[in-house]
Structure 1
Amino acid sequence: MIVEFKPTATIKSANGQEISQSVHSRIGSSVKKDFTRTGLAGVQLVQLSPETSVEEAVNFYRSDPNVLSVSPNYIDHLDCTPNDPQFNTLWALHNTGQTGGTADADIDAPEAWDLAQGSTGIVVAVIDSGVDCTHQDLAANIWTNSGEIPGNGIDDDRNGYIDDVHGYDFVNDDNNPYDDNGHGTHCAGTIAAVGNNANGITGVNWNTKIMPLKAGSADGMLTIADELEAISYATMMGADVISCSFGGTNYVSSVETAIAASPAVVVCAAGNDGTNNDVTPHYPANYNCANIIAVAATDHNDNLASFSNYGATTVDVAAPGDGIYSTVPGYTTVFSDSMTTLANWNVQSPWGLTTAVYYSAPSSVTDSPGGYYSNNANCALTRKNPIDLSSCSDACLRFIIGGEAESEYDGLLIECSHDGATWTTVDSISGSTGGYFYSWETDLSDYCGDSSVYLRFRFVSDSANTYDGYYIDDVEVFYHAPNGNSYGYKSGTSMATPHVSGLAALVKAADPSLSTSQIKQTILSTVDAKSSLTGKVATGGRINAYRAVNSVATVVDAAVVSDTIPTTMTAGQSASVSVTMQNTGTTTWSEGDRIRLGAVGDAALFGPARVTIPAGVTVAPGASHIFTYTMTAPATAGTYTPQYRMVWELHQWFGETLTKTVQVTAAVDAAVVSDTIPATMTAGESASV
């Protein structure tokens, strides 16, 4: 249970500890963890006695006048849906229609990077399943606790955690927040995969620091206690942004208190149930905290993703979250089976293959291929050969599952054995998947080091009510390998959330003086309004990184002197133009420092996005440089507003924006050169012309 005592009864008061101990002793509970050290005085994780039910404990603590709130130590889930392998590019950052979606249905990241690429002074805490800190696209951006001396076994900074050099693992209570699920690493890559390093991908930020806080286990479960401690740690260690791609339906007062007490921007996933959060809350997104940004997910057409929760008052904004490509931990596959045959399995009837329902063609395996399963079923699908896990320290079973069984009474048991005779249940599934296939992961770490691990799926049912049963596809066992440098696709509001977390860090980098409320307001007030989001999220829009960063960018070290950009052009017409920029700063410009004229918005439709200072040319403070290039009008007539700005790409300053209005008229396919048509003629007269 999570028990929160009233301020007058906390252990900070003179008799607070005596009061709390007295309350616990009356019901036989013991304190497992006290959150006072992380700034939450009076909040405790308690272990109930074996004789006490959860319901009895809730009623007992609620009736005590010293207790402010009490809740079970609920388990939340990472807000991720199955991979969708058809997406193959970073459309969310720059959408050209490359995935079959709508061009510019993105967050305008390249335009934002003209203004800021992030800052190593900004820290984003990722509360998730951990982070692969050795990944080639993340290693340089992993946060380091400067107050801790690595590996000396001492709590050097006296924050209550030993050797927490690169974050902490609250699941296993150690200093190695390694990601044994993959979800956290994926989120971290979207926030701040290293940019411009000739490897893999880039995040919304190129340089921002990631603080890995592992609160999620290998199977994607997070207890409230671990979430609470991770939030408190992030606050204590000074995170500027806290990214929360997880959630559940249970309200817990102490978690709301912890978030409200944090000075960080806290970005939370709205959830993946396709439901209205105004009606059915999803926490932590639904907590009433001024620093929370609740995020829905959009697809590559700027539509609300089919799985995404929404809420006209409780969900703030949307961001890309469907088919997102990012970093994932490297792993080694021990075995995999696409379930096209059952040659690798001992099959107990009625288990069998079916081609009627599957995740990947042509078939899946099901506990009842003939229809609904029977009452009192007890049948197993057992892998013939044992699995060798002797060379790994963590391992995971992953498979795709869909279907339905009577909730809590019938279901699937995942069992392991050291000898093939004595079996232990390591996971279970019951209820409905809602007509969808999901990726399910089961932690097998307890069997690591064993060279012969037996595995089976066992379906069981009671004597009442039957359903269609489960369909299993694409089974694999794998273990994670550091330095794997892998990438993959994931979908969910979990993937939308880090886009907003990354943007919060990018806005903070552009103007470090901004307060938490100002950062939130900047993001919400600069969205791209979308009709598909009207009435679905409070802002009615999807985030726009360029507009957000541009709205707070105030440093000007370059000024427009003159330009020859025409105000009218014919569709398809080309013109040689020039823009003269003066160096009004204190640093000399040169080609080697990547000084360039940056094209923003409509400017990209007229020609090159980058016009660089030539090699060997320098522009001293006070001097000017003339940029010349060819400008070609778009093929479609209309009114355009191209913008140009001086940009020093690897530094945090930029120049005055030149904005022009160019009227493009339809092209004319013929022109009069000369004629011999007479000016006067007599009625009925003929003339050769």
Structure 2
Amino acid sequence: MKKALSLAVLTLASSALIAQSEVTRELKTEWHHQSQPNGSIGVSTDEALEALANREPEEIVIAIIDSGIDTTHADLRSQLWVNQDEIPGNGMDDDGNGYVDDMHGWNFIGGPDGNIEGETMELTRMYMDYNTRWDGLDEDSIQDSNPAEYKFFITLMQDFNQQQRENRLEEMFLNRYRREYDNNRSKVEDLLGPDFTDEQLDSLANSRHKSSSAARMVQELHEEGIDKKFFEEYGAQLYSYNNYYLNPAWDVRDSIVGDDPNDWNDSIYGNNDLMGQSSDHGTHVAGIVGAIRDNEIGIDGITPRVKLMVLRVVPDGDERDKDVGLAIRYAVRNGASIINMSFGKDYSPDADKVQEIIQWAGERDVLLVHAAGNDSRDLDFDSGDNFPRMPFETNNLENEAWIEVGASTLYADELAADFSNYGEYSVDLFAPGEDIYSTLPVNTYGFNSGTSMAAPVVTGVAGLIRSYYPQLTAQQVKHVLVESAVPSESRAFEGKSITNAVVNAYEAVKYIEEHKAELGLN
């Protein structure tokens, strides 16, 4: 999963601003569930469930293809899908699918002795693959014999070099601002101590003390969400870029997983560790979809009767096409009705194979929900690739069981989140994706922003619909969600998606009840 440094800034800044107001925090912990008449553009979860009070939902299986989940979390552990054909902990492949003790899903980025945590970007892998293949060959002969491939290689090389340059600049600016921040903060701490309050900082900033200017600088940065934690997390991300993402020498796949990532027939690999060392992202996604409702702790998920199948394919870096394809296949074969995919990348060497599996899944009545990405880009243009994606430019497949999701905010006048990708023909609809409160590892909770949060909101609404109306096909559920999404009157939202609208659970239920005959329901 590619990481956007600008998104990190936005997310961290917004998180710090949220912390300034307990009233705001109280509102935002549940805002994505709320009704639109109250001013927030949520999905009306409670209203939908009230309208369905006389119906009995069926249990539904939803696959979360992501970085893993904290399977011990109090708000998630009883929601996990259980493979009834597998005997837990006996070290045997009881169901004969090749995966030993796959009780709640499978980890495709692990091996007998551990897991992949840091990984290169697909750009780095493809660039180095061409370099290796053409090592020692004359440039003119390559260009003459493989003009299309050579042109693509030049694109890869330019992109790779550009990202390295940008990363060096980011690092230079970060170090400069961090030194300035640390210097001014140390002056404040000399007077107020390391645990100073906002009130103490404000008092010093407005005094005539010689350190008042240092206090004002620290205060201004804090108001923008830039503090010690910001610099630590931003620095950690730059470390990942230098050491994993853009490092051609980084290659741990063979030593940890042991498969051939380019051989799709080499499909029996991985382990059953569904948490790894970094399951924050997947845990947050899972909670949005299916955290236990009405248990008086934490948060409520959107889908009431759900079992979550955990499929771990996303490292700190870019996921592999083969892992994604095999995870989709696993989910379909093991009974998932909906698959959530909150990840994406700029390049995909086996895009055609992934697309074929997506088509295969749709033909088997599985709905696939995908995050549009966080690069503020228009996906209608070639420069906006966010794989896997629709429309399929490689072999022109059409899949009406695919939903591409952009991220919205709770503010009607600024509805499209400024980080969200968009596309008048590429993105189906939007869903709440800014400042979403959900589960995090070790029984904690927190806010995150991104289309990664918007996609599971749609997945949760789709799960609610499929649970209460199990007769509906995946294609019909997509039709219902698209047709019932609430359009925005904001001109700034025009052209951002096919619908120019935000998903809404209550409106979806109303639409179904008003179109029962058309949908083939009793």
TM-score range, shorter chain: 0.5 to 0.7
Matched residue type, 2:340: S
Give distance in 1, aligned partners of 2:328 and 2:477: 19
Q: Does 1:269 align with 2:371?
A: yes
Secondary structure of the equivalent of 1:319?
strand
Q: Deviations over 1:182-207 (max 9, x none)?
A: 00000000001100111111011132
Report the counterpart of residue 214 of structure 1 in structure 2. 312
Report the counterpart of residue 355 of structure 2 in structure 1. 256
Higher mean C-alpha displacement, 111-120 vs 545-554: 111-120
Shift of 1:76: 5.1
Shift of 1:549: 2.2
Give distance in 1, aligned partners of 2:317 and 2:58: 29
**Contact 1:76 / 1:224 at 8 angstroms: preserved in 2?**
no
Q: Find the partner of 2:287 among 180, 189, 197.
A: 189
Q: Deviations over 1:15-61 (max 9, x none)?
A: xxxxxxxxxxxxxxxxxxxxxxxxxxxxxxxxxxxxxxxxxxxxxxx
Report the counterpart of residue 250 of structure 2 in structure 1. none
Specify which structure has the bigger relative contact order, considering alpha-carbon pairs within 8 angstroms and separated by 6 or more residues: 2
Q: Alpha carbons of 1:116 and 1:243: their partners in 2 closer, same or farther (altered >3 Å)?
A: farther
Q: Alpha carbons of 1:182 and 1:320: their partners in 2 closer, same or farther (altered >3 Å)?
A: same
Q: Deviations over 1:453-510 (max 9, x none)?
A: xxxxxxxxxxxxxxxxxxxxxxxxxxxxxxxx10011100000000001111111012
Give distance in 2, aligned partners of 1:314 and 1:216: 23
Report the counterpart of residue 501 of structure 2 in structure 1. 541
Q: Alpha carbons of 1:154 and 1:226: their partners in 2 closer, same or farther (altered >3 Å)?
A: same
Q: Which has the higher strand share?
A: 1
Q: Alpha carbons of 1:520 and 1:499: their partners in 2 closer, same or farther (altered >3 Å)?
A: same
Give distance in 1, aligned partners of 2:59 and 2:506: 21
Secondary structure of the equivalent of 2:446?
strand
Q: Alpha carbons of 1:116 and 1:189: their partners in 2 closer, same or farther (altered >3 Å)?
A: farther
Q: Alpha carbons of 1:164 and 1:554: their partners in 2 closer, same or farther (altered >3 Å)?
A: farther
Give distance in 2, aligned partners of 1:509 and 1:78: 35
Q: Does 1:103 align with 2:49?
A: no
**Contact 2:400 / 2:478 at 8 angstroms: preserved in 1?**
no
Give distance in 1, aligned partners of 2:515 and 2:482: 22
**Contact 1:508 / 1:514 at 8 angstroms: preserved in 2?**
yes
Q: Find the partner of 1:295 among 405, 411, 414.
A: 405
Shift of 1:290: 2.4
Secondary structure of the equivalent of 1:227?
helix
Report the counterpart of residue 152 of structure 1 in structure 2. 90
Taking only aligned residues, the RMSD between alpha carbons, in angstroms, comes to: 2.4
Secondary structure of the equivalent of 1:222?
coil
Matched residue type, 2:408: T
Q: Deviations over 1:48-100 (max 9, x none)?
A: xxxxxxxxxxxxxxxxxxxxxxxxxxx75699753432442221111689xxx
Give distance in 1, aligned partners of 2:424 and 2:46: 30
**Contact 2:35 / 2:47 at 8 angstroms: preserved in 1?**
no
Q: Does 1:528 align with 2:466?
A: no
Matched residue type, 2:389: A
Report the counterpart of residue 203 of structure 1 in structure 2. 301
Shift of 1:552: 2.7
Q: Which runs of 5+ in 1 are unaligned?
A: 1-74, 331-484, 557-689
Secondary structure of the equivalent of 2:89?
coil
Query: TM-score, structure 1 length as denominator?
Result: 0.45
**Contact 1:322 / 1:491 at 8 angstroms: preserved in 2?**
yes
Secondary structure of the equivalent of 2:284?
helix
Give distance in 1, aligned partners of 2:35 and 2:52: 20
Query: TM-score, structure 2 length as denominator?
Result: 0.59
Give distance in 2, aligned partners of 1:77 and 1:146: 37
Q: Which has the higher helix share?
A: 2
Secondary structure of the equivalent of 1:293?
strand
Give distance in 2, aligned partners of 1:502 and 1:142: 15
Q: Alpha carbons of 1:145 and 1:78: their partners in 2 closer, same or farther (altered >3 Å)?
A: farther
Aligned length: 323
Report the counterpart of residue 430 of structure 2 in structure 1. 318
Q: Deviations over 1:226-262 (max 9, x none)?
A: 2122111111112100000000122411011111100
Give distance in 2, aligned partners of 1:324 and 1:220: 23
Q: Does 1:166 align with 2:126?
A: no
Report the counterpart of residue 348 of structure 1 in structure 2. none
Q: Which runs of 5+ in 2 are unaligned?
A: 19-24, 111-269, 393-398, 517-522
Give distance in 1, aligned partners of 2:297 and 2:4: 27
Give distance in 1, aligned partners of 2:433 and 2:445: 16
Report the counterpart of residue 581 of structure 1 in structure 2. none
Q: Alpha carbons of 1:132 and 1:541: their partners in 2 closer, same or farther (altered >3 Å)?
A: same
- Structure with bigger gyration radius: 1
Secondary structure of the equivalent of 2:32?
coil
Q: Find the partner of 1:94 among 20, 25, 34.
A: 34
Report the counterpart of residue 7 of structure 1 in structure 2. none
**Contact 2:374 / 2:421 at 8 angstroms: preserved in 1?**
yes
Shift of 1:543: 0.4
Secondary structure of the equivalent of 2:311?
strand
Give distance in 1, aligned partners of 2:335 and 2:4: 24
